[in-house]
Amino acid sequence: MWSGTPSGGAHRFAANLLCACGGGSLLVVGSDAGALVGALLRVGVDARNADGLEGCSVLADASFSTVVACISPPCAGERLSEAMVELGRIAGRSVVVVVGPDNARTQADTYAETDSPIASRSSVDAAAFAAGLRRHPMSLGLTSYNALDVDAPPRVMAYERIPATAMTDYPQQWLQTHHDLHDDHLRQSGRRADAHVARYWLASDWVKEGDTVLDAACGLGYGIGVLGTASGANRLIGVDGSSRAIDYARANYGGPRSVFEVSDVGVMPFLADGSIDFVASFETLEHVEKPGEVLAEFYRVLSPGGRIIVSVPNNWADETRKDPNPHHLHVYTQARLRSELSEHFVIEQWYRQTAGGGWKCRDEPRCIEAAGEEADGKTDVDSSRPAEWWLVVAVKPVGNESPGRAMQAARLDHRFAAALRLMCSGQRAEAKAAFAALAGNQAGDHAPALWAVDALRYAGILHAMDGEVNEARALWLRGIELAVLALQDWKSRGIADKGAVNLDFGLSELAKVVAAAAGCERWIAALPRLIEQPGFAWQAGMGRDAVGVGGMGGGGNDAELVRKAAESAPANGAARAAALAEQLTDTRRHVTMLEEARTWLEAQVESWRTETQKTSTFLERITHWSKELEEAKKWWEGQHAAEKVESARLWAAFEQERDEAAQHATRVEAQIEDRDAQLAAQRETIEGMRREQAENARAVQELRTKT
């Protein structure tokens, strides 16, 4: 099942699950639970498994932080509703539902979103909402917005518990009754709800650690829920003109970091000038009479260098050139939005979004993607693809500093990710150029140095794999040089008077620079071994701690990257690159053998753990039977107090049954002790095998060294 999830594989799904729902105690319910539980245990999470919900009835409410349920269709209607209620009862915080494929059904039936007998995404949503759950603010981290249209099992859906008082005051019926301009899209299903949540998920990517965030025209506050969960914001402020919406937001999404205020977003006197680091305002400008005044107010409250992200419908005009939506006072195009924003801000990044199913772009899939950048008055925006909405990120300039300079550090993280994508897609020349551009833009600043040094490290690896050793060495030396400059800069500016630390560039950022420079140093030291010992050189360059069973940190594509390097290397370096690929392939083969042995041992341990859990469940049933017998005793005594003779006879029979139960319990305990002894012997055997495996590994290492 796990290989078919959007994450791909139990280990990666476990990593994404923890990033979305956090650690704590996790229960995985379903026949495919073993692989996921094993992956979670290996990273230190308290994870357990249960074959089905039938055995979970003895668990107390909120027994686990997160419950993951693997559902095999068909599971619909009343059965699905009962399952979601039970999952919500057991979970203290989050519920993740994974609906597996049903091979017995046709593809059309399996993928249908509605009128399907299997657990479709919309039917699971409806059951979850009825059970007091809402969509998890981090759910798009498990299945991206762009992947929602491919609704093929296994489907992954994440939910969180609604606060009890909020659920009482605002049940699902309340939302349906008070549906007007405001909706809680974490408690709704469908394309439009997905589109709204996706905007906040995108916005969370742009929020910096420690930011104060304003959600202007926040409605029912679900956006604060997403931004507060998915970003490092220190303080979040939701503002809306509806007191009813703000009351709902406070009850459902209020917290120590989140506050909500009733106010016109065009006049927010309770916010001081420059007090906000990030403004999000989606689907707002087309609703207000004077959008220019609203943007001016955003400019006032935004700090210099702070960001704003807005969205508007793209040219929602009919044949009369007016928007048929009576609540929309303006028709926006990309040109108009650019013109109004540019009066106050410097536009940085454009995004296009489609949801489909509406009167515009009806047949388009769910999609949100970067459409281009603007810098120094130049526009690089692709308008050829359809856009149902435009989203744009802009920056408030810093004093007299040039706009391009003000945005430089803020844009580097996204450009670095773009360079990595080029590298992973095999566009090596373009990746080299992208990394070089990042390194060339550092201009002596410490913050861009975070990316510049790592960019030089990656650029050097690309050159080295292409046989361009001298170029690689020069790039890595430059990376070390930039790190030294950053250290000197931190020493001169990082410690202020009286030893106060300048948190604008703290030790965590400095550690990242030094770590990247250490990578450059490792590669320089590994260069002499690159030809004769390519495998050893790769491990030394990447750092032994970063090399896992699959190869490099995340593992899996190293041989493919080397193959691409061999194809694009100069002719005089092709033989060396081919030798490198061959030796790496051989190394991967040996490592795969060790991985298979480890997988077998883990399967054995999982099997013994399952048997132990079954024994524990049997003991719990015996305890439950004893309690029932005690209750039966009290009932008989109360009902037949007058019939002493008959009561005595019944009591004697009861005593005999209890003694037999005790004897049975004694026999079971003896069997458990025998099983424990067997498990101890098996564990000793495993330990012996592990020691033998370790000795074999050392022998292989010695053989490699000799080789």
Residues counted in the chain: 707
Give backbone dihedrals phi and psi of 329, rounded to 5 degrees, phi first: -90, -15
List, for residues 471-527, the tens digit of each pLDDT value.
Answer: 999 999 998 988 888 887 766 665 444 455 545 556 677 788 888 888 899 889 888
Q: Which of 87-96, 127-136, 418-427, 547-556 has the lowest mean pLDDT?
A: 547-556
User: Does residue 548 carry a pLDDT above 90?
Assistant: no
Q: Which of 91-95, 145-149, 643-647 has the highest mean pLDDT?
A: 91-95
List, for residues 423-457, the tens digit of each pLDDT value.
Answer: 766 788 888 888 888 776 543 444 456 678 888 99
Ordered by start, the domain boundaries in the chain are: 2-161, 191-401, 406-529, 590-706
Q: Hey, do 2-161 and 191-401 end up sharing a CATH topology, with the first three levels equal?
A: yes
Mean pLDDT for the stretch of residues 51-58: 80
Q: What is the pLDDT of residue 352?
A: 92
Question: How far apart are the C-alpha atoms of 395 and 341, rounded to whole Å?
Answer: 10
Q: Which of 58-62, 218-222, 629-633, 691-695 has the highest mean pLDDT?
A: 218-222
Structure tokens at 196: 């709204």
Domain 2-161 classified CATH 3.40.250.10? no
- Cβ contact 316:325 at 8 Å: yes
User: Does residue 149 carry a pLDDT above 50?
Assistant: yes
Mean pLDDT for the stretch of residues 345-371: 88
∠ CA 581-585-591 to the nearest 5 degrees? Answer: 145
Alpha-carbon torsion 593, 594, 600, 606, what sign? negative
Q: What is the pLDDT of residue 403?
A: 43
Q: Indicate the average pLDDT of the chain.
A: 79
pLDDT class of 151 with cuts at 50, 70, 90: low
Mean pLDDT for the stretch of residues 243-265: 95
Q: What is the pLDDT of residue 5?
A: 59
Classify domain 191-401 by CATH architecture: 3-Layer(aba) Sandwich (3.40)
Q: What is the pLDDT of residue 600?
A: 67
Mean pLDDT for the stretch of residues 583-601: 59
pLDDT class of 108 with cuts at 50, 70, 90: very low
Percent of the chain predicted with pLDDT > 90: 29
Q: Which of 497-506, 603-612, 621-630 has the lowest mean pLDDT?
A: 497-506
Q: What is the pLDDT of residue 634?
A: 83
Question: How far apart are the C-alpha atoms of 341 and 20, rounded to whole Å?
Answer: 34
Q: Cβ–Cβ contacts within 10 Å for residue 344, how many?
A: 18
Question: How far apart are the C-alpha atoms of 13 and 486, rounded to whole Å?
Answer: 37
Q: What is the pLDDT of residue 377?
A: 55
User: Does residue 328 carry a pLDDT above 60?
Assistant: yes
Structure pTM?
A: 0.64
User: Does residue 463 carry a pLDDT above 80?
Assistant: yes
User: Does residue 68 carry a pLDDT above 60?
Assistant: yes
Structure tokens at 185: 């899209």
pLDDT class of 539 with cuts at 50, 70, 90: confident
Question: How far apart are the C-alpha atoms of 223 and 185, rounded to whole Å?
Answer: 9
Q: What is the pLDDT of residue 570?
A: 36
Question: How far apart are the C-alpha atoms of 123 and 113, rounded to whole Å?
Answer: 8
Q: Cβ–Cβ contacts within 10 Å for residue 437, how many?
A: 12
Give all strands of the β-sheet with 133-135 in edge-to-edge order: 46-50, 25-29, 64-71, 91-99, 155-161, 133-135
Question: How far apart are the C-alpha atoms of 678 and 476, rounded to whole Å?
Answer: 56
Mean pLDDT for the stretch of residues 650-667: 87
